[in-house]
Amino acid sequence: MRIIHLILGGLIFLAIIVVYIAQQPPTGEAIGYAQSNYPGMMAGGEGAERSAPLFLPILLWQFCVIGLGIAFIIQATPVHNRTIGFYGAMFVSGLAMAASWAALMLSYKNYLISGETAYIFGFPLATSWLVYGIWLSEAFLALFYVIGFRRYVFTEENERAFAQLLAEKKSAPSQEERL
Amino acid sequence: MEISRELIVLFCVGTYMLLSIVVGLWAIRRTRSAQDFFIAGRSLGPLVVSMAVFSSTLSGFGFVGGPGLVYATGMSSIWMVCVSALGYAIAFYTVAKSVRMISELRDTLSLPDILADRFGSSTVRLLTAITILLGVLGYLATQILAMALVLQSILNEVPAFAGINLVICAVISLSVLVFYSYTGGIVASVYTDLIQGLVMIIAGILIVLAAVHVFEGGMAQASQVIFNNDAEAIMPFGTMGMVVCLSWFFMFGFGLAGQPHVITKFMMNRNVKDTRIILPITLFGYVMAAMLWISIGVVMRAAVIGGLADPLAKADMAAPIFLGLFANPWLAGVVFAGLFAAIMSTADAFLNIGAAAIIHDIPKALRGKALQHELKWARLATIGLSILAAIFALYSHYVGGQLIAILGAFGWGMFAAALVPLVVLGLNWKGATKAGAIAAIAVSIVINIGIQLLSLKLPFAMAGGFVAMLASLITFISVSLFTTGPNVPEDISRVMDI
């Protein structure tokens, strides 16, 4: 099975989740309601009531999206650059994003059960996972791009191949008709 | 003598506009050909490209609409922002290198050029150009209206200009934008982006510092005030719930790689290796500027609930009211200049790709060859497009109607749905076919227009652009797997192996 088939499978799986969610009857204030005291300000209402039925599909939705993001990058990386180090970097990045997402959902669920939350760096714990955890875990991909650029993205061999292609193009203009 | 707050703000905004004009004058000499006008002759250094990429991504929406959304819906809209690192990473891994190499190899001027060469199809070129043009009109009209409204609100505070007409404000701000876009094309655009990006970063950092001091207990106290009023608002999915947040995450994250005004910037760096430096600088700039989105929104919501500020007449007033109440006048001046910077940097990027679609891509798709004297036509198209977008904007404002809203549907979500499959997958998968590309664009247009024209409300307020993007990605791969098309040209095939 090739990466493109995995991507198609992931997209179809995501579509199935979306269709499943779309068929669920909304519970509680599913998309919020207007606050009467403060015009223009919405409220979410009872979190547990509106979130509980969607918890599992939403969890899977985001795991699927994280997997798709990694798969897009693998698909775009030439086969000869996909070394063990590259796959390791993708695995670590995917794991970091998945772990942050799982931690966010777990702390949100704990809050919904207990009604209490700790505050970390200015926000409730679950929100801190969003503001800091999700953002920083994604940054692993950017970090690997910088560190691994000459190993996985544009190696010296790639650079030579491109220079040669340009040289060939200059010396013998392509016969292909430009559209 | 104490200078009034209004004059300080006016001075900062005026200085910024003057700088933009100076850059426009400087760029005239560096713009001698259509290649210079559209892609800056592929000669830009990494800092300039980085600032251009991030500042054209974060439009005025990030400075006004973003804080307004947090005020109105709590943390929901933060999902649009916190996906930025993943979005930029995907764009750089999957698109930046290929686009830069094909651009140099085939001497291309625009994204439709690249896609037409990749798929061997003038239909793909035409559809891509039309998609871009429609999206540009909607985006541009919104940006022009925003510029005029912000300038009007600033001038109204100065007694000498009180009651100034919106049309005059539109003419003033549009004149600055058109001047530097006309004289210097993308060269002026990216160098003004450099100034704009730096202003936005400084504004973002200073605003966070101001915001954490509004409440004695800092952001934690602001969060607690919101929590006590409506806990869901400060929880990770905000008031709008989980489904809409994740649909935004997908659309804004993966969709970033399909934004033509961003992709075009990838053609401009002087060599492929620079992308290694461009990604982290871009990301740093975006994160710094986007902190303004979060901090102003949270603090203003808490300030209104906590009685420190009156309820806002409109959520979009969150940033201006915050600046009036809690910021030093000079900081307010810098942020207002930053706001103009954000709007103009996005608008000039759209003017550029829109002009390319009109005078380069569409004629090439229909006639099989480009126009003669492209530089002259590009400059005229820049003026024409600006005037057309300004008419749309003012008509929509005064007469009402849904024109901008409908065209707006062709904005981010449309670009994401129509172009992500073609660039993220199409430039990296040799099995992708012309039929797949055409089908994906068609599906994305039909779904986006359908949702807008029929005023469809999707379950759980799911974003229409997300549904269109998911459908178009599935269509692209499925149709490509079941069809064959012209083989990938040999040189582009070799690029795809690199």
Question: What is the structure's pLDDT at A97?
Answer: 96
Q: What is the ipTM of this complex?
A: 0.94
Q: What is the mean pLDDT of residues B470-491?
A: 91
CB proximity under 8 Å: B 417-436 to A: 424-425, 427-429, 431
- Rounded CA separation A108/A127 (Å): 8
- φ, ψ for residue A103, nearest 5 deg: -65, -40
For testing contact with chain B, the best of A24, A154, A171 (most B CBs within 10 A) = A154
Own/partner long-range contacts of B222-226 (Cβ < 8 Å, ≥24 apart): B222/A122, B222/B298, B222/B299, B222/B301, B222/B302, B222/B303, B223/A119, B223/A122, B223/A123, B223/A124, B223/A127, B223/B298, B223/B302, B224/A119, B225/B302, B225/B305, B225/B306, B226/B74, B226/B298, B226/B301, B226/B302, B226/B305
- Rounded CA separation B78/B245 (Å): 8
By the CB < 8 Å criterion, does B104 face chain A? Answer: yes
Question: What is the structure's pLDDT at B100?
Answer: 93
User: CB B72 to CB A130 under 8 A?
Assistant: no
Instruction: Name B44's bridge partners.
Output: B269
Both tokens of residue B390? 């300004």
* Predicted TM-score (pTM) of this structure: 0.91
Of A11, A141, A162, the CB nearest to B473: A11
Residue B98 has pLDDT above 90, yes or no: yes
CA distance B24 to chain A (A): 33
- Rounded CA separation B364/A97 (Å): 44
For testing contact with chain B, the best of A56, A61, A130 (most B CBs within 10 A) = A130
Q: What is the mean pLDDT of residues A20-48?
A: 87
- Rounded CA separation A26/A54 (Å): 10
Both tokens of residue B302? 């808490």
Look-up of token digits 């500042």: B55
Radius of gyration of chain A (CA): 23
Task: Identify the band that residue A64 occupies on the pLDDT scale cut at 50, 70 and 90.
Answer: very high
By the CB < 8 Å criterion, does B72 face chain A? Answer: yes
CA distance A134 to chain B (A): 7
Residues of B104-116 as b/e, b for ≥16 C-beta within 10 angstroms?
bbbebbbbbbbbb
CA distance B122 to chain A (A): 6
For testing contact with chain A, the best of B111, B232, B457 (most A CBs within 10 A) = B232
B478/B335: higher pLDDT: B478
Q: What is the mean pLDDT of residues B19-26?
A: 83
Of A38, A40, A121, the CB nearest to B314: A40
CA distance A91 to chain B (A): 14
User: CB A65 to CB B89 under 8 A?
Assistant: no
Q: How many residues does chain B have?
A: 498
List, for residues B322-353, the tens digit of each pLDDT value. 988 888 888 888 888 878 877 887 888 888 88
By the CB < 8 Å criterion, does A90 face chain B? Answer: no
Residue A102 has pLDDT above 60, yes or no: yes
Mean pLDDT is lowest, of B224-228, B236-240, B351-355, for B351-355
List, for residues B352-403, the tens digit of each pLDDT value. 888 888 888 888 888 877 777 877 888 888 888 888 888 888 887 777 655 5
Task: Identify the band that residue B79 occupies on the pLDDT scale cut at 50, 70 and 90.
Answer: very high
- Rounded CA separation B53/B474 (Å): 28
